[in-house]
């Protein structure tokens, strides 16, 4: 098994998307990239902790490659908007790849360079080593499945999932 931590706006969107992948063993919403130990949602949502909302994806590289996970990453969020995804604004919504090995770093940087060819604006995604991942509170885990009728799920997450299903159907469960 392998793990990668990704940030691309609200973690509920990434969580819902990566749970659909064949080869994704576990997806955990959480926080990374900041300086405060054991941050809470209330602290992170103020934008003062330095943390981003992220997901930690545990995956089976025999079933899904890191390259595929990153291809999906570039598709389900806009990596060219600094500290923003849609109406979600602040450093906690930044685009980020937190790697756990030099091999992951190399793969991430190569993937970013390839993705840049698809975007007219510069990609602002930070690529940094993972220092610490903190799981988010229980009510954030698998949020979409537990709250499918919530307005944010209908208006923001559902269109991302439709795009994912359209472009990557062969990679989904």
As a whole number of angstroms, the distance between CA 82 and CA 96 comes to 10
State the Cα–Cα distance between residues 33 and 51, nearest whole angstrom: 5
Q: Which stretches of 3-153 are DSSP H helices?
A: 11-18, 41-45, 66-76, 102-116, 143-146, 151-152
Active site residues: 10
Helix (H) or strand (E) holding 137: none
The Cα–Cα gap between 130 and 123 comes to 20
Q: What is the dihedral of CA 109, 36, 47, 127, to 10 degrees?
A: 0
């Amino acid at each position: 098994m392998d793990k990668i931590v990704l940030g691309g706006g609200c973690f509920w969107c990434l969580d819902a998307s990566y749970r659909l992948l064949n080869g994704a063993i576990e997806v955990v919403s959480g926080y990374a990239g900041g300086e405060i130990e054991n941050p809470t949602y209330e602290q992170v949502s103020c934008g003062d902790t330095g943390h981003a909302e992220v997901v930690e994806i545990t995956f089976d590289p025999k079933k899904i490659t890191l390259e595929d996970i990153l291809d999906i990453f570039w598709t389900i969020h806009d990596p060219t908007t600094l500290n923003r995804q849609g109406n979600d604004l602040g450093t906690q919504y930044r685009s980020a790849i937190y790697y756990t090995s030099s091999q992951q770093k190399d793969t991430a940087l190569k993937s970013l360079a390839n993705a840049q060819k698809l975007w007219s604006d510069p990609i602002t995604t930070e690529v940094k080593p993972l220092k610490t991942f903190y799981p988010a509170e229980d009510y954030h885990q698998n949020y979409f499945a537990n709250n499918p009728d919530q307005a944010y799920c209908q208006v923001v997450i559902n269109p991302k999932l439709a795009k994912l299903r359209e472009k990557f159907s062969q990679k989904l469960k």
